[in-house]
Each structure stands twice: as C-alpha cells, then as structure tokens.
Structure 1
Amino acid sequence: MSKVATGQDIIKWFEEWSPKQLAFEGDPVGLHVGTLNKKVNKVMVTLDVLESVVDEAIENNVDLIIAHHPLLFKPLKQVSPDNEKGRIVQKLIKHDITVYAAHTNLDVAWGGVNDAMCEALGVNVKDVLIETERERLYKVVVFVPQTHENEVREALGDAGAGHIGNYSHCTFQTPGIGAFKPEEGADPYLGTEGEIEKVDEVRMETIVPQSVLKTVLKAMDQAHPYEEVAYDVYPLELQGEKKGLGRMAELDEPMTLESFAERVKDAFDVPALRLVGDKKKMVKNVAVLGGDGNKYISAAKRKGADVFVTGDLYFHVAHDALGMGLNVIDPGHHVEKVMKRTVHDFLKEKFEQKQISTDVMISKAHTEPFQFM
C-alpha cells in the first residue's frame, strides 16, 4: 500500500542527489520557511519563489515548494504585508507551506541544472567547466557468514557502494574462518554463550564515496545477520568523482555560430538572445553555465570552448570575450527554468520507487522579469 512521504523523507532523497555541501560558501540553500517534519501530499517545483508562485501553491494545496533560487538571500529585518517578501512569508506560514531551496548545489550536482541545459541543447557533456571538488573515497571491509554474502552484497550496492565507472555493485571477497565467543547478555545469531564459535565467512570489500558512507553502513548493518557487525572503514588516496560548476560539451557536428544560436533560442523557448562573436564562425566545443557566467569566460576559453552559453553578460565582459576570441550566447538567466522538469522527474521516479502517493507538480507561474520588444 502506498503512503504519503514526510518533508524529511523527500529532502533526504533529494540531497542524496544534490547534497547541500556542494553549495558555494554563503549560498543560503536548504530550508527557508516552515518545517519538514510533516506529511507532504503535494510538492511544487519552481525556479523562483514570487508571490504569484505562492498563490499558485495555495490554490493547488501544495505542502512543499522546492525552488532553485533562494527566497531569502539576506535576512529579513521585518515581515510586513507592505512589501512582497513580507507578504510571501506571511502567506507561506498561514497556509503551512514549506520552502526549500537548492541553488549552487543543484548547479554542481551531476544531472542538475547545467546537465539539463546541455540535454536541452542536444550537446554531449565531456567535463565540468570549473572543478570545485573531488569526492573522498573509502574502502569498507565487512566480514559476513557465507550464508548471507549475497544479501549483504546487494544491500551495499543498492545503497551506493561499489560504483566504478559504468559498473555498480563491485566487490571483492576472500573466504576465511570467523571466530567469536558470545558473552553474558549477548543475543547471537550463531553460537552459545561462553563457547567459542567458528563460522565460514567471507571478507567482503568495496569502494564507497563519502556522500553515501553513512547510508551504506546503515544498509550493511540491516542486511547483516550478526548482532554486532565486524567491519573496517579505510580512507583512500584515490580521487573520487569530479564535481564542478558548468559543463564542457561537444556538438555532434560543427555548425555556424548563427545556427547554434537559433538552436539555443528553440531549446530554451526564448524570443531573443544576445550574441557576441562572428555569426559565420564554425563552433563545436561548447561551454555551458546557467545563471551569471561573467567570472568564467577565461575558464571557458582555457577549456577550449568555441562558444560559451551563459546568462547576465556584462557589457565590458562581452568586450573581453571578443578580445580573446570567445563567442558568447546569452539567452538570459531565466533559462535555468529547465530545472523544473528535471527535479519533477527525479521526484516522480523516486516516489514511484518508494511506492509513495505524494504528488509533484511543476509551477506554471511566469517568473521571467523581462519583456522583449
């Protein structure tokens, strides 16, 4: 029978994909208004939290709003109906609507905003634009009775252990003899109190990223038959998965800058965009960064980009791009709206996997502040 998820459940699953620690320092990600300690019948995904979005949430009986752009970039000095922020907070509290923001962490996360933009553009992702971290890796070694090796192996892999390249559930094991003596008060799976018990066991080892280490250990403990599980955790010098802001991608075939700009317009459904460079020049290597990419034109050039797709381009930065021979396409900041479908689909799939009846919807409110003439 399906059940309704709590806010804590939903954000736990969400942060397994887009953990808060990926966010840039000072970025106010996470809970903004309300509580996660409640049942959530409906989630709404939005780019921005404007008053029109909150009104839409109220009309649709939404319990939780997940936004890309934080509602509160700075602390409020007062909550008053005389300004939009105050009215928003009052409405949210009155109608018990929780707001959670995933900003730069969703930009950095694989499968997040920048990957969604690349998918919309039909380009093949090759690398990150700016590396921000390499995830730390650990070796987990657990000693398992041979009768339960399959159960424990599956639990480890299902929890995220053993990912090497395009392979999952990777483990190595060797047979051996485990020995133990249950003492007074023990409740052993095998053996008798006060007597040495010897068991045919395997030493099973696997590689685990830091982000899922606690989840993996919990799953291992639940699948293991012993009252006290014997295991070791070793930090590794190996580098884990690269994470970073923006993406370096490649077109299947070269095309003119003008043709690619038309593709960008169509992909993001924008009526106009700004173009820097020679429209007749051929491009193949594409840098993509949602939002404000002014600080990263040099990085795009160093990475070998022929064209940089980003937003909020400044006048003088456009001159700098021309000077270094980098073409730039600026379709605006609002094209990050592609994250709405991405987050919606992630949650919908997760709810189906978990047999959760919680509904998820995409906000239809228009939050692009600019009009084009």
Structure 2
Amino acid sequence: MTTLREVVDYAHALWPLSGAEEWDAPGLVVGSLDHDVTRILLAVDAVSETVTQACDINADLLLTHHPLLMRSVTSVAEDRYKGHLVSKLIRSGVALLAAHTNADVVTDGVSDVLAQRIGMSNLKPLVPSSMEGTGIGRIGELSSPMTLGALAQHLASVLPHTAGGVKVSGDFNQEVSTVSLCGGAGDSLLSNQLVLSSDVYITSDLRHHPAQEFREQALLGSGPALIDISHWAAEWLWLDVAGAQLKKAFPNIHIEVSDVRTDPWDFLVVQ
C-alpha cells in the first residue's frame, strides 16, 4: 500500500514548495500522512462539486491546483463554505493537497503545458527562478507564424469550453509568431520586458483599466496584442500531465481527472 506521506513527498519533489510565491499556501490542508491512498482525484479547485465528486468516488486524496485555505481565513465553522468543505473532507476520509504556484513554475507545470498545447517551442520563463528553466510564465515561438485570429481560434479548440470563451484585443489579421503567456491571473506581468517584446500575451482575468491602458500605450509604439482566456480552462490542461506523473510513480493508485467545470461563469448572453 502507498501512504499519503509517500504521495505528498513525491508531489513536493515534482512541485517543490520552495518554488511557491511568498503569499501562496500550497501543501497538505487535510489528511493524516499515515493513511493509505488507493484513489486520487485531481481538480483545479476545491469547491462543493469537486469535493462531492471526491467523496462519491471514494477518493483518498483530492489534489487541487488552487489552495482552499489561503488569505484571511479565520474560521472553518460549517456555516461558511470553506469550513463546510473541510468538515466534509474530514468526515469522508478524503485528504486535500494543493500544488499552486509551485506547480506553475516547473517544467511541465501549468504555463509550460499551456505553451506546449498551443504548439510553442524554445520556451523560457518570463520571470526566471533560481532553478534553471523554471519560473513564472513562458515565452516562445509558434512553429509557423499565424494571424492573431487563427491563434485565438486554435486556443478555443485546445481549451475546454467556458461561457466566456476567448477574448482578444488586437487586429484579427495581425501576424504573430512570438507568444508570451502566464497560466492563471497574469496582469502583474504586463510591464515585463519579455511580454512587451512578444507579438501577443495570453493570460487570464485581465481587468478593464489595466488592459485598456496597456493597449493604448502599445498603440503609441509597439506592444503585444492581448488574449484573455478562462483562468480555470488554462489551468485544467495541466491536470492530465500531473496525473500521468503521479501514475508513473504510483501505478497501483487509481488516478482520475475531474471533468467538473469550476469556472464561475455558467452562460453568456450575446448582445
């Protein structure tokens, strides 16, 4: 049998905690390290649907990208949703482990997988970390130039469906070859020099004013187009890779990737 301790140790070898941002809170949230693990469910978020799914399939571990407990959590009372989920996990004997920014920065991490699925090569981080080849975001080249519109359509075919789809700021027919990206919310990198040198920057959760001001400044000189994609969809692609890595190390553990869409938006009304 494989213990939770063995799985956690391997997860932290794949996605070292030392690679996490200072504000982040990855790691084990719920569970006894001595308990056996025979089934793991992977998901982007620990929310009611994925926790229920983990309990329903008798998973011993729910491994998520986003931490459930991070900022300003002062209570796990059951009348609050985080407390309710923690209590449900404990009662059902399901451990909870999060691999967040520590899984963003590594080779075959969140941004790396997104870049690979798009078809980018010659990848390097936008913000390198101390370990060579690791860091926040990625920049690279497409196998051949394409229009911005074609790249957006390609992204829409690669990513799982969401109500928000793929939003683009730029000329549909603009030719692009150098692409920068950051899986998850990446507006903090809008001033990054590698981002500014690319033809297009792909990320999520771009707000009105930062995106508008960035594009207005770009129009005065040169700067990338912007593509805004679903935060959940961009990170969901990584789960298959993470699951395969775990399966290779623990072939006797049943590993499943959740198909529950935890993007918060349910439908779009087109005007």
The reply to whether TM is greater than 0.5 is: yes
Q: How far apart in 1 are the matches of 2:188 and 2:88?
A: 37
Cα deviation for residue 366 of structure 1 reads 2.2
1:91 match: secondary structure: helix
Aligned counterpart, 2:101 = 104
| 1:9-88 correspondence runs (5 A) | 9-74=6-71, 76-88=73-85
| 1:83-232 correspondence runs (5 A) | 83-133=80-130, 135=131
Q: How far apart in 1 are the matches of 2:127 and 2:182?
A: 10
Contact 1:118 1:125 in 2 (8 A): no
For the pair 1:248 / 2:147, whether they are aligned, the reply is no
Contact 2:195 2:201 in 1 (8 A): no
Change in 2 beyond 3 A, CA 1:35/1:370:
same
Q: How far apart in 2 are the matches of 1:12 and 1:69?
A: 19
2:125 match: secondary structure: strand
Cα deviation for residue 301 of structure 1 reads 4.8
Q: How far apart in 2 are the matches of 1:56 and 1:125?
A: 38
For residues 264-311 of structure 1, what are the alpha-carbon distances to aligned partners after superposition, in whole Å with 9 as ceiling and x for unaligned? 111113352211112211000000101111111221555621001100
CA RMSD of aligned residues (A): 1.6
Q: Report the TM-score when normalising by structure 1.
A: 0.67
Cα deviation for residue 123 of structure 1 reads 1.5
Q: How far apart in 2 are the matches of 1:78 and 1:130?
A: 35
Cα deviation for residue 328 of structure 1 reads 0.7
Contact 2:19 2:105 in 1 (8 A): yes
For the pair 1:350 / 2:249, whether they are aligned, the reply is yes
Match of 2:188 among 274, 295, 305: 295
- Indicate the structure with greater strand content: 1
Cα deviation for residue 132 of structure 1 reads 2.4
For the pair 1:281 / 2:174, whether they are aligned, the reply is yes
For residues 103-148 of structure 1, what are the alpha-carbon distances to aligned partners after superposition, in whole Å with 9 as ceiling and x for unaligned? 0000001111111111221211421111122x3xxxxxxxxxxxxx
User: Runs of 5+ in structure 2 lacking a partner?
Assistant: none
For the pair 1:260 / 2:151, whether they are aligned, the reply is yes
Change in 2 beyond 3 A, CA 1:303/1:277:
closer
In terms of mean alpha carbon deviation, does 82-91 or 95-104 score higher?
82-91
Aligned counterpart, 1:213 = none
Aligned counterpart, 2:237 = 338
Aligned counterpart, 2:204 = 311
Change in 2 beyond 3 A, CA 1:129/1:364:
same
Cα deviation for residue 247 of structure 1 reads 0.5
Q: How far apart in 2 are the matches of 1:302 and 1:363?
A: 32
1:340 match: secondary structure: helix
For the pair 1:5 / 2:38, whether they are aligned, the reply is no
Q: Larger radius of gyration, structure 1 or 2?
A: 1
User: Runs of 5+ in structure 1 lacking a partner?
Assistant: 136-240
Contact 1:307 1:329 in 2 (8 A): yes
Q: How far apart in 1 are the matches of 2:227 and 2:62?
A: 31
Q: How far apart in 2 are the matches of 1:52 and 1:344?
A: 19
Report how many aligned residue pairs link the two structures: 260
Sequence identity (%)? 30
Which AA in structure 1 matches 2:179?
A: V
